[in-house]
Amino acid sequence: MSHLWSLSVEEQFYICWPAILLFSPRKYLPTILVSGIILSVLFRYQITTDQNELGRILMPGSLDSFCIGGLLAYGRLYRNKWYQQYVKYRSLFVLFSFLLLIFVHTPFFNNAGKYFYVSFYFLLISVAFGIQIDRVADTVNTPVISAILNNRALLYIGKISYGVYLFHNFIPYLYSINLPVFLQPASMYIAQAVRFALLIGLASLSWYLFERPILRLKDKFVFDKLPADQLISS
């Protein structure tokens, strides 16, 4: 069940985030988001010990990832000039973040201590991948990226991805399979292929028997779909 910590973090965030958007004036959102990033780093620094790393798996310790995404979304929606300036140097930000990720694995950085490492390493991961995802979002209409993202197999895996995430740790490890001698060198790869097939099958059952019927219940409720810029207090 260890992997379910991230699901718990996600659900806690989704409970809090709409309330923040609803009750916070829009002009204060950048301050709130930057404060969330800083507090998350400080939380990890204070909570992490040599015996545990709870600081990075509790919701406050994961908040910087969500806030970085929120800050990028805010820039796209409401700060076009600021966002366009950021876009000019976005590739450099990505490169710099990945270089820092490499640097933190050097003895020089490790000498700063485990607390410092845990506090900033995960922040760098969030920055690097958050900016990279934001960068890819601007290329979804290019032929290559569009072809990849519209691949039927990937679309289907995306549809059942919740089940893939939920059940992947429960699929038993297949350490040995009785295979003909000439296939035994590939036994590990065959075992992983069998595990993957079982996982896709289980996730598909979850989608068709539980998730899709539950999602269809929302059709019984009527609500107005407002543009994004009307969902947040001005």
Do 90 and 195 fall within a single domain? Answer: no
How would you write 86-150 as a 3-class SS string?
HHHCHHHHHHHHHHHHHHCCCHHHHCCCHHHHHHHHHHHHHHHHHHHHHHHHCCCCCHHHHHHHC
Residue 219 pLDDT grade (very low, low, confident, very high; cuts 50, 70, 90): confident
What is the count of structural domains for the chain? 2
| pLDDT (mean) for 12-36 | 88
Query: Looking at the predicted structure, is the pLDDT value of residue 202 above 70?
Result: yes
Please tell me whether residues 50 and 160 are part of one structural domain.
no
Decide if 146 is inside a domain. no
**Do 14 and 101 sit in the same domain of this protein?**
yes
| pLDDT reading at 50 higher than 70 | no
For residue 125, is it within any domain?
yes
Tell me the mean pLDDT in the region 208-226. 82
pLDDT at 155: 92
Tell me which of 76 and 181 has the higher pLDDT: 76
Q: Rounded to whole angstroms, how far apart are CA atoms 1 and 224?
A: 38
- pTM given for the model: 0.74
Average pLDDT score over the chain: 80
How far is residue 203's CA from residue 195's CA, in Å, rounded to a whole number? 12
Residue 87 belongs to a domain:
yes
**Whether residue 15 is found in the same domain as residue 40:** yes
**If you average pLDDT over residues 59-72, what whole number do you get?**
88
Query: Could you tell me the pLDDT band of residue 179, with boundaries at 50, 70 and 90?
Result: low
Q: What is the pLDDT of residue 205?
A: 95
From 112, 140, 168, the end of a domain falls on: 140
CB 114 within 8 Å of CB 48 = yes
| Final residue before a domain boundary, out of 140, 163, 181 | 140
Q: According to the model, what pLDDT value does residue 199 have? A: 92
- Indicate if 136 and 155 belong to the same structural domain: no
106 and 207, same structural domain?
Answer: no
Asked if residue 101 is part of any domain, the answer here is yes
- The residue ranking higher by pLDDT, 195 or 97, is 195
Do the domain assignments include residue 225? yes
Which structural domain, as residue segments, surrounds residue 217?
151-230
What does the pLDDT read at residue 96?
A: 81
Structure tokens at 165: 């995430």
- pLDDT above 60 for 176: no
Give the CA dihedral 184, 189, 194, 196, nearest 10 degrees: 170
Domain check: are 132 and 187 in the same one? no
Residue range 147-172, pLDDT digits in tens: 888 899 999 999 999 999 988 888 87
What is the average pLDDT across 18-28? Answer: 85
Using the 3D structure, point to which of 95, 118, 140 is the last residue of a domain: 140
Provide Rg for the chain, Cα atoms. Answer: 22
